[in-house]
Amino acid sequence: MTTPLILREGAPARLVDLSSAVADALNGTQIARCVRTAQPGVWEVTAGTHIGVVEAADQQVIIQPKITMNRLIFLMGYARHPRFWRQEIVSLDPEDNLPQALTTAFIQLAGRALDQGLLKGYREVETSLPVLRGRIREADQLRHHWGRTIPLEVRFDEFTVDIPENQILLAAAVRLLRIPTTRPTQRAALQRLRFQLADVTPASTSPAIPRWTPSRLNARYQPGLEIAELILAGRSFEQRVGQVRVTGYLFSMARIFEDFVTVALAEALTPFGGHSRRYDTYLDDEEQIDVLPDFVWLEAHRPVVVADAKYKAEKPAGFPNADLYQLLAYCTVLGLPVGHLIYAKGNEESRQYRVRRAGIRLFAHTLDLSLPPHQLLASIGDLAHTLETSRQRRD
């Protein structure tokens, strides 16, 4: 394995010695942009908006976010559970890459949960037994064992450790063990957690990651489950580009930003009345072109605010203002004279536009993701007030 290539998301291109096969593999997976230079074997490499770890042949690529790990994990966690996400639940090493940081947090929080013993709960079991337990599933008994007294098709509740909370922790531990940058000390700790969960159904035999519901019974598990869900939300992949095998564990900064903005805006707008939900509609009368804004706020089932979260501005060749065109389409379809774009600060500037002969105003706002959590949420609150005020003015 060669020396890891460390890139920072959003940073300028840097000159890197790479083989053509590895450069083509990174381009093919769109993880980074590699441009050949006049110097043989040297490429201009720019990270995309994904963060995490990738291996292409013998080259390991680590893509770091622009913001600190503590801040990043706050954004990810708040988007999933805004009501009880902790501001600083663990202390993370600023030099860690994202998978290492998540592993550190998971080991600490899952360890605290399991130190008091595995949580148990009731699980409904349907199986065949030679003796009666619980209730007979009559339809299955007649279908599979017509005219026979045994085995019996039964259904019963079992008090067990094989419950969703433990299955999620086990799935996260297994996922982290597959990541190449996991340190030896972290691997040892993860193996201990895996041993503690030996009586739990492995993730590979579960049809999907199970759902859990917060309660006083699983209160000690909740911080660990929050981190476990973040880990399982990452995209693990393995594919072949040409002759090069590419594996990775990545998160999309664009998706992290979009999820955080939409959830935090909904929380901040709640005191004004109304609600947000997924709002599918169409651009044309024939209903052939889908329109799906990131955020729509409704009152009495009527859209009153529309916003789109954009981590970076879309500027394809020939359409340098693609975000504005998209927002204008949303406003037109929803019949709203005001629309809002929300960018991460540093990727675009705050501006406002008045569309000619349309009576529509478009606002571009920015959020500083480097702010401490309480200040960032306060800025979201100010933004929510701005959205509400602009709506009231046009009424």
138/226 same-domain check: no
- Domain hosting 330: range is 273-394
Backbone angles phi, psi at 90, to 5 degrees: -145, 165
Let me know whether 72 and 191 are in one domain.
yes
Give the pLDDT confidence score for residue 395 in this predicted structure.
Answer: 45
Does one domain contain both 179 and 146?
no
- Claim to verify: residue 298 and residue 366 sit in the same structural domain: yes
Is there a single domain that holds both residue 90 and residue 41? no
The answer to whether the beta carbons of residues 109 and 223 sit under 8 Å apart is: yes
Write down the pLDDT at residue 114. Answer: 92
Residues 301 and 348 in one domain: yes
Q: What pTM does this model have?
A: 0.82
- Residue 177, exposed/middle/buried by CB under 10 A (0-12, 13-18, 19+)? middle
Instruction: Give me the phi and psi of 285, to 5 degrees please.
Output: -65, -30
What's the pLDDT tens digit per position in 167-177? 999 999 999 99
Assess whether 104 and 201 both reside in one domain.
yes
Residue 45 falls inside a structural domain: yes
Same domain, 291 and 202: no
Strands 152-160 and 244-252: unpaired
93 plus 218 within the same structural domain: yes
* Distance, CA of 334 to CA of 297 (rounded, Å): 11
Residues 29 and 111 in one domain: no
Same domain, 143 and 285: no
Whether 256 is in a domain gets the answer no
- Domain contains 136: yes
Which pLDDT belongs to residue 203? 61
Tell me what pLDDT residue 145 has. 78
Any domain includes 263 = no
- Residues 373 and 288 both lie in one domain: yes
Strand-pairing partners, residue 159, are 122
Quick one: which of 268, 294, 186 has its CA closest to 231? Answer: 186
For residue 215, the model assigns a pLDDT of 87
The structural domain count of the chain equals 4
Under 8 Å CB-to-CB from 148, ≥6 apart: which residues?
A: none
**Any domain includes 264:** no
In a domain? residue 268? no
pLDDT tens for the 395 residues of the chain, in order? 578 899 998 889 999 999 899 999 898 888 899 999 999 999 999 998 899 998 888 888 999 998 888 888 889 888 888 866 655 555 667 778 888 889 998 998 899 889 888 998 877 777 787 777 767 777 877 777 776 777 877 776 777 888 889 999 999 999 999 888 889 999 999 999 999 999 898 765 455 677 888 888 888 898 888 889 889 888 887 788 777 888 888 999 999 999 999 999 999 999 999 999 889 999 999 999 999 999 999 998 899 999 999 998 777 766 668 999 999 999 999 999 999 999 998 877 789 999 998 889 999 999 999 898 899 999 999 999 999 988 765 44
pLDDT for residue 7: 92
